[in-house]
Amino acid sequence: MKVKVDKTLIASVALHVCVLGWGLMSFSSKAFDLMPEDSVPVDVISSDQLAKVMAGMKTGQKAPTPLVEKVAEAKPVEDAVGKITEKPPVVTETTPPPAPEKPVEKKPDPPKPVAEAKPKEEPKKEEPKPIEKKPDPKVDPIAEAIKKEEKKPKPPVQAAKPPEPVKPKTERAFDQSKIAALLDKRDPSRQAVTGDTLNSNAALGLAKGKAADNSATWGALFQAQVERCWKKPYGGIEAQKSEAAFAIKLKRDGTLEGMPVPEGTPATPYLRVYQESALRAIIECQPYKLPAAYFDEWKYFAPVFTERKT
Amino acid sequence: MTDNNELPEMPFRLSRRQIISGMAALGMVTGSARHALAQGPKRVIIPEGDFAPLPIAIPNFVAGTPADAEVGVGVTQVITNNLKRSGLFAPIDQAAYIEKVINIDAAPQFQNWKTINAQALVTGRMTRQGDGRLKAEFRLWDVNTAQQLAGQQYFTSPEYWRRIAHIISDQIYERLTGEKGYFDSRIVFVDETGPKERRVKRLAMMDQDGANVRYLTRGADLVLTPRFSPSTQEITYMEFGQGDPRVYLFNIETGQREIVGNFPGMSFSPRFSPDGQRVIMSLQQGGNSNLFVMDLRSKSTTRLTDTPAIDTSPSYSPDGSRICFESDRGGKPQIYVMAATGGPAQRISFGEGSYSTPVWSPRGDYIAFTKQGGGQFSIGIMKTDGSGERLLTSGYHNEGPTFAPNGRVLMFFREPGGGGGPSLFTVDISGRNEQKVPTPGFASDPAWSPLLS
């Protein structure tokens, strides 16, 4: 049986094969090594909140040193507005001396946009420290007030003291011990900004403010890179508890400056193997491509390899 | 509490210390963050990396004398095969190697092994000694840290080179996984040949990788459920002779066999106690069967259960204090646990279907079983209190799990259905890595020996 084949068909097929084959050859390439993008958390905040993030004051000047009104243990005040008075508690006869009580939440704070980043931000009144003082009925309010009035160059903004609205209370629970505080008609006040050295100039704040670091960004980058080399040993039940931490120093080019230093000695053979596998991964995956801007942060840090579910 | 719930969603998590202190403060996360900032370098969490087999390079063992080249290659192949079958290692193809190891006493050029992404490297040498013995040396290197992790030498008769390879495999496995190995061990199983109607079943024994098959019985009688003694070179099994099935002891070294006890009726599903001094088994009495234990030295027999149900397939916990077994006292066959001295039994299996052939892991952490339900037979494991049940493999017919000496791998037999016969498979207790075990013919009822060394 003879099959008649169209020559043009053959030519067409041959040509297609050639073109497609050439295309497959020349267009194939190694997959691009995509560098993970920096994660940029975005929050919409008011200028007031910005001032808080910058650890500065809206009306301040550009000075690197923070405002300090009183030499004491550094305890910057978040919103340096208002008259300085250590307002003593109003103790009435009827109320028994309040037991070492739970914090009296007078100023519920709006949720912080970068809570982790600026640890020193809460208003003083939420601090446990001032509360320790409050139950002490021996403080003489007058002597205390006089002491306060003696010194203190007023902070520059004080002239333009904004009307401080009485913060709405969220806690509606009736608390007998708070009645006195409610009846207290004195001006709202704050505590002195303390620090190592006196500095009467309020500052506009720093570029980074009190944001602790940018480890969310470069930490994720480091994690993504080191995970590629990590051959985690299979460990069964006890693997769920494993953790290995190291202290590592990186050079600017992302290579290790020295051997990673493991934290602690592993207790079991599996933990030893787990730690070794992590160590191998750290060494094998260098150099790390981390944002140069944050070199000061990632030149020395502690990667923690963990199986513990948070 | 809310901040604790938020944590997992954050791309960069708080460190453990922060979390612990955060929990302690219950909602004062900012307070704890301040606390953590005060300590040491910034902690970056690398959570829950995926398990991955370790890339390992095993170049051929160097020949000490020109005559040893063959055994060097053989040892390398056995080690490579062992590690690969374990599923925990990814041996790198020898064709990719850049460096040829010539002298194992000098440190290798680690850069050459880093280039091919090896994380571990095994070098070794086989040398025939003047007295005819074989010397085996090996070194295990960590490529990234350029350190030797292990190094040993062994002497043996040349015909035991495979065992040396298994022992070296165990060393590598143990050093790199933190677990005891299981390669230097044997399997006893029932070898099946012939057509389905007239199957000849012989007791056979082989290395765990399927090499060195030996037949222990001739196949005149039907044999079932062979079990290794944990401490001696003995096997106990059930044999259908001319009369009722009986439990026998078989000495591997001498080939001698003896009947265990002289009971009226059937005795079956025997298993050794962890000290090897006793055999626990089922005795049939009328329509039901109960568990008995016999002391092999005094030949005294103790009854452990007395129920109108079928109690069978007993297996000791590794410390010998408890027994798991199968019983249909609740209607369907289920797994029960009781003290080794008898007494009240506690049911631990509560899933759909019926459970049988329980076996206690040598590590003590799991009980493996066969589960029947939904038209399928599955092999699974559960914790010894019955929680955390996990099926490792399912299909037409899977049965008879037995644990490797390290409790990390199970062997069982599988029948594909249709005309074929059963064959042996291994699966690790995660269920990820299933491997067929090579046998000369059909094979069933495997039992894993303890480590030989």
- From the list A215, A306, A307, the residue facing B42 with the nearest CB is A215
List all residues of chain A from 114 to 173 with a beta carbon under 8 Å from chain B: 115-116, 119-122
Parallel, antiparallel, or unpaired for β B366-373 and B376-383?
antiparallel
Range with lowest mean pLDDT among A97-111, A140-154, B283-297 = A97-111
Is residue B231 pLDDT above 50, yes or no? Answer: yes
- Strand pairing class (B311-316; B120-128): unpaired
Is residue B155 pLDDT above 50, yes or no?
A: yes
Tokens 């009688």 identify what position?
B221
CB contact under 8 A, B45 and A304: yes
Query: What residues 38-77 of chain B have any CB closer than 8 A to a CB of chain A?
Result: 40-55
For residue A112, which residues of chain B lie inside 8 Å, CB to CB? 30
Q: What is the dihedral of CA A147, A151, A156, A160, to 10 degrees?
A: 40
Residues B17-28, mean pLDDT to the nearest whole number:
45
If contacts are CB pairs under 8 Å, which of residues 277-306 in chain A contact chain B?
277-280, 283-284, 297-298, 300-306
Query: Per residue in A196-233, pLDDT tens?
Result: 666 666 666 555 555 556 677 788 888 888 888 888 88
Q: Does B26 touch chain A (CB under 8 A)?
A: no
ipTM: 0.73
Chain A closest CA to B403's CA: distance in Å?
A: 15
Would you say how long chain A is, in residues? 310
Compute how many other C-beta atoms are within 10 angstroms of the C-beta atom of residue B375.
Answer: 7
The rounded distance, in Å, linking the Cα atoms of A61 and B147 is 58
Q: Does B1 touch chain A (CB under 8 A)?
A: no
Interchain proximity B53–A274, CB inside 8 Å = no
Query: Mean pLDDT lowest for which of A176-180, B150-154, B387-391?
Result: A176-180
| Interface membership of A307 toward B (CB under 8 Å) | yes
Pairing of strands B409-415, B423-428: antiparallel
Give the nearest partner residue to A119 out of B30, B40, B114, using CB atoms: B30
Q: Per mean pLDDT, which range of A91-100, B36-45, B193-202 is the poorest? A: A91-100
User: Beta strand pairing status for B62-63 and B120-128?
Assistant: parallel
Element holding B398 (H helix, E strand): strand B397-403
B25 touches chain A (CB under 8 A): no
Residue B101: per-residue pLDDT:
83
pLDDT in tens, B248-260: 888 888 888 888 8
Nearest C-alpha in B relative to A310: B8
pLDDT of A47 higher than 50: yes
Give yes or no for B115 touching A (CB within 8 A).
no
pLDDT tens for A157-185 read 444 455 555 555 555 667 777 777 777 77
Distance, in angstroms, between A297 CA and closest chain B CA?
8
Mean per-residue pLDDT, A264-292: 85
**Which of A143-147, B79-83, B317-321, B362-366 comes out lowest in average pLDDT?**
A143-147
Residues of B in contact with A270 (CB under 8 A): 177-179
Chosen from A114, A116, A270 to mutate, greatest number of chain B CBs within 10 A? A116
Q: Cβ of B415 under 8 Å from any chain A Cβ?
A: no
CB contact under 8 A, A223 and B45: yes
pLDDT (tens digit, 9 = 90+) per residue, B341-363? 888 989 998 888 899 999 999 98
Cβ of residue B30 closer than 8 Å to a chain A Cβ: yes
Task: Convert the pLDDT of each residue in B309-326 to its tens digit.
Answer: 889 999 999 999 999 999
> For A79-125, what is each residue's pLDDT tens digit?
555 566 655 655 555 544 455 545 444 444 554 444 444 444 444 44
Q: Which residue of B has its CA nearest to A217?
A: B12
